[in-house]
Amino acid sequence: MLNESNKQSGDINTINLNEQWQIDYWIDVLGCTESQLRSVIKIVGNKLSEVKKYFVK
């Protein structure tokens, strides 16, 4: 979960690839691999709405 008490959630509108727990969370939610997530973020940036749009295509 994004806001677990022992983790700082930071900006809930972006995906932080420096935080492994965020990577693990978003690959589960988006149904992708870490490599796919990293590739998409290189293309569209780390804004969550843009990443989600890309995976909906």
Identify the domain containing residue 42 by its residue range.
20-56
In a domain, 30, yes or no: yes
pLDDT of the residue at 57: 77
Total-model pTM: 0.79
Q: What digits encode the pLDDT tens for the residues 1-56?
A: 454 433 555 688 999 999 999 999 999 999 999 999 999 999 999 999 999 999 98
* pLDDT of res. 48: 96
The pLDDT, as a whole number, for residue 45 is: 97
- Overall domain count for the chain: 1
Residue 29 forms part of a structural domain? yes
Check residue 53 and give its pLDDT.
Answer: 96
Does residue 51 sit within a domain? yes
Assigned domain for 35 exists = yes
Instruction: Supply angle C-alpha 41, 16, 6, rounded to 5.
Output: 155
Residue 41 lies in a domain: yes
Smallest CA-to-CA distance from 13 within 55, 47, 42, 43 is with: 47
DSSP state of 12: T
